[in-house]
Amino acid sequence: MRLRKKHWATPELKENEYIYFDPVDKKGKWHETFGNENPIYLELGAGRGSFSLKKAEENPNINYLPLEIETNVFVYAGRLYKEKGLKNILGIRGAAEKLFEFFEEDEVDRIYINFCNPWPKPRQHKRRLSHPRLLNLYKVILKNGGEIELKTDDRPFFEDTVDYFKEEGFEILNIDYDLGLKEGDTITEYESKWRSMEVPICYIRVKLNK
Ligand SMILES: C[S@@+](CC[C@H](N)C(=O)[O-])C[C@H]1O[C@@H](n2cnc3c(N)ncnc32)[C@H](O)[C@@H]1O
């Protein structure tokens, strides 16, 4: 199902001081922008943006950058960020494929990928946010020792993703094919939906050794 375009979403987001559109001018300047040297955690495909917001509330000494391509959904993230007025979260409206235009080498400490589209057909695999084509971008912008955390409800996609991480030389720190939920864990909108249907959640955390 295609979402109806919200014609007001882009103008509203452009007015929002918490959201940057394709921020090529911020490349290498994110610490300056946040006004501190705290670690930078990037979330790809952030949707309505509540995951990074909760993390930002819990971890004031980490800077969060949720990134999302779709203004139709990200407009709600923008509202939340403005309402809360935190100093350690800024949204990026842009495509993960353009990360190299937005970040300098070694600028990012951690990347979250939550419930991204599994693109099941072989000819679509290269669009996956965990595809080696993108892992090679993440390798540049992530610091030595930087980590990626990925969660999904899609087992075949997850199995391919584990292979992609191995092929690209990431060190696997944790892997779980039915992730339990502890009190206080931060979950996304999609995770909440899948958990309510008792779909097992797959999780992997990997480290980059440069
Ligand atoms: C299935 S939703 C998951 C949203 C959220 N992470 C969650 O778990 O609730 C995937 C999101 O990724 C976004 N997305 C897909 N491809 C993207 C890309 N190449 N760059 C940035 N965002 C992307 C989509 O617009 C969508 O909002």
pLDDT of residue 152: 98
Bridge partners (DSSP) listed for residue 205? 149, 174
Q: Which of 43, 44, 152 to mutate to test the pocket of ligand 1 (most atoms within 8 A of CB)?
A: 44
Distance from Cα 82 to the centre of ligand 1, integer Å: 21
Q: Which residues line ligand 1 (CB under 6 A)?
A: 44-47, 67-70, 73, 95-97, 114-117, 188-191
pLDDT tier, 4 (very low <50, low <70, confident <90, very high otherwise): confident
DSSP 41-74: EEEES-TT-HHHHHHHHH-TTSEEEEEES-HHHH
Distance from Cα 90 to the centre of ligand 1, integer Å: 17
Quick check: 1 pLDDT over 70? no
Domain ranges of the chain: 9-207
pLDDT tier, 5 (very low <50, low <70, confident <90, very high otherwise): confident
Going from the C-alpha of 171 to that of each of 7, 133, 146, 207, the distances in angstroms are 44, 18, 11, 5
Which residue's alpha carbon is nearest to atom 10 within ligand 1? 116
Which residue's alpha carbon is nearest to atom 16 within ligand 1? 45
Across the range 187-201, mean pLDDT stands at 97
Of 29, 181, 190, the closest CA to residue 113 belongs to 190
- Give backbone dihedrals phi and psi of 107, rounded to 5 degrees, phi first: -85, -15
pLDDT of residue 2: 58
pLDDT of residue 177: 98
Q: What is 9-207's CATH superfamily?
A: Vaccinia Virus protein VP39 (3.40.50.150)
Q: Which of 43, 48, 69 to mutate to test the pocket of ligand 1 (most atoms within 8 A of CB)?
A: 69
Q: Which of 41, 52, 97, 117 to mutate to test the pocket of ligand 1 (most atoms within 8 A of CB)?
A: 117
**Whether the model pTM is above 0.75:** yes
Length of the chain: 210
Give tens-digit pLDDT for 130-187. Answer: 999 999 999 999 999 999 999 999 999 999 999 999 999 999 999 999 999 999 999 9
